[in-house]
């Protein structure tokens, strides 16, 4: 394993060569704001909130830390005026697109960012920042690919194909869980869950009687793994 040494905000750190800068920073207690990062999936680098300044030799540039591999001797700065300006503009643009997003408002308060008049707020109650987290989670982690993007430009939206009920969705709710702005809504009762326009019956644990997962999700797991439904009909607490 090749290791490299470099600095983050003046602190010398060591990491495996090729590791992504954002991951190394987090491992060393350096907080870098993100909107489209999650440890369980490959980063799409969509939100651009995680920018930092990197000096390598005589060259200094602003890079997206979640996609930037570390190398020997680089100097990383996470709080320069240049970096703060880029993050501010990115966040202002996102707030103009999603003016009703509580998560963006909280981040803006934390960073001292206020909406600028030059960015006209969207007239809808949209809260989707098009970060791709839900789509990538459904595809890479769940392995279903029930949702995706439709249309282009300002009309671009995330959802099921043709905005119709997806026959492959298993109701797991992973997309709603990973959504950084809680744009994806999942509602229901203990017996039934609703997401993406479909209702999913929940499995009742044969031991404790609690409802714990959509039946279609458990059937999909059974089909993929070969584990019989009888064993999957018991919740984690009772196993």
Q: What is the pLDDT of residues 92-112, one digit of tens each?
A: 999 999 988 999 999 999 999
Q: Are 197 and 191 in contact (CB under 8 A)?
A: no
Q: What is the pLDDT of residue 43?
A: 84
Q: What is the pLDDT of residue 117?
A: 67
Q: What is the pLDDT of residue 39?
A: 86
Q: Are 159 and 63 in contact (CB under 8 A)?
A: no
Q: What is the pLDDT of residue 119?
A: 84
Q: Are 33 and 130 in contact (CB under 8 A)?
A: no
For 133, the enclosing helix (H) or strand (E) is helix 133-136
Q: What is the pLDDT of residue 147?
A: 97
Q: Are 219 and 197 in contact (CB under 8 A)?
A: no
Question: Tokens 């809680």 identify what position?
Answer: 182
Please state the separation of Cα 76 from the chain's center in Å: 24
Q: What is the pLDDT of residue 22?
A: 97
Q: What is the pLDDT of residue 48?
A: 93
Of 7, 2, 23, nearest to 55 (Cα)? 7
C-alpha distance from residue 151 to each of 32, 122, 181, 198, 224 (Å)? 32, 17, 21, 22, 32
- Domains, the chain, ranges and CATH? 1-124 (3.10.20.740), 133-238 (no CATH)
For 224, the enclosing helix (H) or strand (E) is helix 215-225
Question: Tokens 């949209």 identify what position?
Answer: 126
Dihedral, CA atoms, 176, 179, 185, 191, nearest 10 degrees?
A: 20
Block mean pLDDT (10 aa), the chain, length 239:
94 96 96 92 90 96 97 97 96 91 93 80 88 95 95 90 93 96 95 97 97 97 96 94
Instruction: Report helix angle 102-111 to 81-97, nearest 10.
Output: 160
The pair of three-digit structure tokens given for residue 218, joined into one six-digit string: 């458990």
β-pairing, 198-204 vs 192-195, is antiparallel
Q: What is the pLDDT of residue 102?
A: 93
DSSP 219: H
Q: What's this model's pTM, rounded to 2 decimal places?
A: 0.87
């Amino acid at each position: 394993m090749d290791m490299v040494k470099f600095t983050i905000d003046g602190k010398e750190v060591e990491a495996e060569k090729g590791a992504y800068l954002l991951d190394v920073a987090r491992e060393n207690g350096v907080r870098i704001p993100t909107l489209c990062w999650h440890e369980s999936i490959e980063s799409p680098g969509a939100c651009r909130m995680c920018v930092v300044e990197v000096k390598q030799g005589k060259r200094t540039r602003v890079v997206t830390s979640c996609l930037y591999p570390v190398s020997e001797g680089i100097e990383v700065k996470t709080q320069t005026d240049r970096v703060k300006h880029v993050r501010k503009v990115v966040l202002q643009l996102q707030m103009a697109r999603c003016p009703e997003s509580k998560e963006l408002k909280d981040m803006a308060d934390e960073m001292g960012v206020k909406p600028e008049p030059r960015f006209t707020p969207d007239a809808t109650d949209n809260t989707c920042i098009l970060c791709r987290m839900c789509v990538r989670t459904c595809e890479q982690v769940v392995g279903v690919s029930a949702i995706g993007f439709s249309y282009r430009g300002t009309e671009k939206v995330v959802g099921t194909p043709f905005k119709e009920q997806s026959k492959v969705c298993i109701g797991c709710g992973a997309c709603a869980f990973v959504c950084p702005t809680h744009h994806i809504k999942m509602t229901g009762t203990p017996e039934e869950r609703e997401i993406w326009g479909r209702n999913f019956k929940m499995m009742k644990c044969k031991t404790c009687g609690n409802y714990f997962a959509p039946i279609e999700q458990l059937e999909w797991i059974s089909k993929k793994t070969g584990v019989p439904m009888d064993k999957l009909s018991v919740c984690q607490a009772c196993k």
